[in-house]
Amino acid sequence: MNVTASPLAETPANAQKIDGGAFAANLRQRIAAEVARLQAEHGVTPGLAVVLVGDDPASAVYVRNKGTQTEAAGMASFEHRLPADTDAETLLSLVRQLNEDQAVHGILVQLPLPDHLDSDLVMNAIDPAKDVDGFHIFNVGLLGTGQKAMVPCTPLGCLLLLKDQLGSLAGLNTVVVGRSNIVGKPMAQLLLKESCTVTVAHSRSRDLPAICRNADILVAAVGRPEMIGADWIKSGATVIDVGINRVEREGKQRLVGDVDYAAASHVAGAITPVPGGVGPMTIACLLANTLTACCRINGLPEPEIMD
């Protein structure tokens, strides 16, 4: 039998691994320094309230990590846990109470919510000035029109990694795979603002591999384990993998992205791993947004940590 070796096997896995964990740790340090300065110079402590409805295990871990990292940055953390059968009025009334609370500068309701709750209604009940998730329709509109907004944390994290990696993004061909309100759509808006050429594709786009192969920057946020293979990637492209998929491999639970990391590393110029890529940036950017919200609410200059 004539066995032909895969061309990939002969190509070294040269892609640079983009270390989101290290970048996020550094960002958290700079945030903590700003928080200390705010307290010393203005007597203000930024406060973040996180609301968890129900007992989704992954959400519980994210909420716990948010609390720990908020406190580690010197901010005040307020955690509200409600049972899965909480009705809309109880949740909305908590949101209204947090809107009025002077010690709270950022409010985040963890998603997904149980099916009986309308997440748009809940997001739009949050005071836009305290909407550190950037999901309120007011902030969505500001971002969409290129105005100063609260920017959703995961796309903001992706943008910081991209700018650190590439410098100016102007003129680059970017493809965002996924059209969610949390990642795909705001990511596209941010890239447009950076003067990229932006294509938003999704699982039903015709000839998705060919669309992706055109990308200098490929952002994968489609939620399908390792859907994007090496042959979807342009040689030397920067690949940002937003997917966090729990899969079972050889009897063990593993976390994988939307990109086949091992294969893609032979073709891409740089790529984020899962875990340790985009994920850690989400909470670091949440802390940055809380600090920004606190400064804006108190009429203080915004810190320059994101520049």
Pick the binder of ligand LMY7XDAE from 276, 296, 302, 305 (CB under 6 A): 276
- Distance, in Å, from the CA atom of 307 to the CA atom of 77, rounded to the nearest integer, reads 26
- Distance, in Å, from the CA atom of 136 to the CA atom of 138, rounded to the nearest integer, reads 5
- Concerning whether 17 is annotated as a catalytic residue, the answer is no
Contacts of 251 (CB under 8 A, 6+ apart): none
Report in angstroms how near the CB of residue 159 gets to ligand LMY7XDAE at its nearest.
14
Question: C-alpha angle 193/199/205, rounded to 5°?
Answer: 155
- Residues within window 232-261 making contact with ligand LMY7XDAE, judged by CB under 6 A: 244, 255
Pick the binder of ligand LMY7XDAE from 107, 280, 294, 303 (CB under 6 A): 280
Report in angstroms how near the CB of residue 107 gets to ligand LMY7XDAE at its nearest.
10
- Is position 110 an interface residue for ligand LMY7XDAE (rule: CB under 6 A)? yes
Report in angstroms how near the CB of residue 39 gets to ligand LMY7XDAE at its nearest.
26
| Residue 180 marked as a ligand binder | yes
Pick the binder of ligand LMY7XDAE from 60, 76, 92, 111 (CB under 6 A): 111
Contacts of 1 (CB under 8 A, 6+ apart): none
Per-residue binder mask for ligand LMY7XDAE (CB under 6 A), 127-156, x = binder: ------x-------------------xx--
Q: Looking at beta carbons, which pairs linking 18-22 to residues 24 or more positions away fall under 8 Å?
A: 18/161, 18/165, 18/238, 18/240, 18/270, 18/271, 18/272, 18/273, 18/277, 19/276, 19/277, 20/157, 20/161, 20/272, 20/273, 20/276, 20/277, 20/278, 20/279, 20/280, 20/281, 21/276, 21/277, 21/280
Pick the binder of ligand LMY7XDAE from 108, 190, 270, 271 (CB under 6 A): 108
Look up residue 50 and give its two tokens. 């996180």
Q: Residue 145 burial (CB < 10 Å; 0-12/13-18/19+)?
A: exposed
The two counts, helices (H) then strands (E), for the chain are 10, 11
Best CA proximity match to 78, nearest among 123, 119, 108, 42 = 108
Report in angstroms how near the CB of residue 157 gets to ligand LMY7XDAE at its nearest.
9
| Residue 233 marked as a ligand binder | no
For ligand LMY7XDAE, which is the closer residue by CB, 133 or 216? 133
Look up residue 56 and give its two tokens. 């989704």
- Is position 290 an interface residue for ligand LMY7XDAE (rule: CB under 6 A)? no
| Residue 178 marked as a ligand binder | yes
Per-residue binder mask for ligand LMY7XDAE (CB under 6 A), 34-63, x = binder: ----------------------------x-
Do residues 81 and 139 make contact, with C-beta atoms less than 8 angstroms apart? no
Interface region with ligand LMY7XDAE, contact rule CB under 6 A, candidates 73-81, 109-117, 207-215, 221-229: 109-117
- Is position 283 an interface residue for ligand LMY7XDAE (rule: CB under 6 A)? yes
| Residue 18 marked as a ligand binder | no
CA 275 to chain CA centroid, nearest Å? 13
Report in angstroms how near the CB of residue 289 gets to ligand LMY7XDAE at its nearest.
10
Catalytic residue of the set 127, 131, 133, 260: 133
The binding site for NADP(+) comprises 178-180, 244
Task: Point out the residues that are catalytic.
Answer: 66, 110, 133
Residues that bind ligand LMY7XDAE (CB under 6 A): 62, 108-111, 133, 153-154, 244, 255, 274-276, 279-280, 282-283
